[in-house]
Amino acid sequence: MVVCGVISFSTLFLCLFQGVTSLKDVQLLVEPSTVIKGGTAALICYRDMQGAPLYSVKWYRGNHEFFRYTPLEVPETRVFGLPGIYVDMNRSNGTQVLLRRLELGLAGNFSCEVTADSPSFATQIATKFIDVIALPTLLPVLVTDKDHYQPGETLRANCTSPPSRPATNLTIFVNEEPISASETSLHPSESGLLYAKVNVDLKVTPELFPGGRLRVACYATLYDVYNQSAKLDFLTPETDPRPERITLGGGASMCFLNWILLLFLVFLPMLVRGEDYGLLDDELNSQFSYYDEGSDQNALISLVGG
């Protein structure tokens, strides 16, 4: 194989003489492979120049050129304004172009066209459809028709995913096993996204309460970039008729944080060495006044103050 990267008379002559077939295997790759709205994506143009010098790399969306790299010109790079395309010039060169702030409307066919310099001026183009997806910003919501169930009853549940594009895949699990639900129905949201909804009817049997608990969960997933769930637990009617509802995600940790904060506020004065408890009492008063308004408050304050 002859390498003609160095332009000198003898190598050029050699290349011509041996009839080098230049430029092959032009490929367009996208990193990351799933492009998310508002994020960035690097479009990378691989090619095998076979030693031929590069004349230009041109980038298109549809038929519109938006970026060009010509190593022999000054400047080497040029951007052609196209609505919605934000090229990061600092990270774009002869191999790749980095796009920022991607919008849903930008989804489409992107191409890179590589041209070799003289003598061949061989040209090859690679095209790829690039989708832009919108992740859900909320968690799925699971509802059942009742709070608790006796064996023999039917549990009816609906799961609704938050809006996204495309719509999420919804799967219902009963005690960690996926079960078949209804066909997923899709509904447009106000923001032009889609939300998905499934419902399921489950015949309740005693066997569904291993260890005294029946768990129904709904997973909403979007390729490998989003996977969130909503879960509901039901206890065996014999042991405890009340359902234990759990919320995953933000809810649980917020509650935990509130408790830490409360404990901190209660024990802070004991930790602080100093005389002026009166001031702290006042602060605590205002802190607690919206928790309990009755005599409990006095008990708390005297505990703290003493």
Ligand X SMILES: *[C@@H]1O[C@H](CO)[C@@H](O)[C@H](O)[C@H]1NC(C)=O
User: By CB under 6 A, which span of 27-35, 91-99, 238-246, 257-265 interacts with ligand X?
Assistant: 91-99
91 binds ligand X (CB under 6 A): yes
C-alpha pair distances (Å), 226 with each of 209, 221, 250, 271, 294? 30, 5, 16, 44, 46
* Interaction between residue 298 and ligand X (CB under 6 A): no
> Quick check: 185 binds ligand X (CB under 6 A)?
no
- Residues from 126 through 145 that contact ligand X (CB under 6 A): 129, 143-145
Asked if residue 156 binds ligand X (CB under 6 A), the reply is yes
CB 274 within 8 A of CB 268: no
77 binds ligand X per the rule CB under 6 A: no
Contact status: 93 vs ligand X (CB under 6 A):
yes
> Is residue 223 a contact residue for ligand X (CB under 6 A)?
yes
Among residues 45, 222, 232, 284, the one that binds ligand X under rule CB under 6 A: 222
| Binding flag, residue 109, ligand X (CB under 6 A) | yes
Q: What is the DSSP letter of 58?
A: E
CA 72 to chain centre: 40
Q: Residues 6 or more apart from 178 whose CB is under 8 A from it?
A: 171, 172
Query: What's the sign of the alpha-carbon dihedral 187, 190, 191, 192?
Result: positive
Token pair recorded at residue 82 = 């196209």
Record the tokens describing residue 257, joined without a space: 């944080």
- Give the range of 45-53, 86-94, 187-195, 293-301 binding ligand X by CB under 6 A: 86-94
Residues 143 and 158 sit within 8 Å (Cβ to Cβ): yes
Token pair 């702030």 is found at 101
CB of 135 vs ligand X, minimal distance in Å:
11
d(CA 78, CA 39): 22
* CB-nearer residue toward ligand X: 109 or 189: 109
The CB-of-96 to ligand X minimum distance in angstroms stands at 5
Kindly state the number of chain residues that form the binding site for ligand X, as judged by CB under 6 A: 23
Question: Of the two residues 96 and 115, which places its CB atom closer to ligand X in the complex?
Answer: 96
**Closer residue to ligand X, CB minimum distance, 127 or 298:** 127
Q: What angle do CA 184, 152, 243 make, to 5 degrees?
A: 75
Query: Rule CB under 6 A: which residues touch ligand X?
Result: 88, 90-91, 93-96, 108-109, 129, 143-145, 156, 158, 166, 169, 199, 219, 221-223, 227
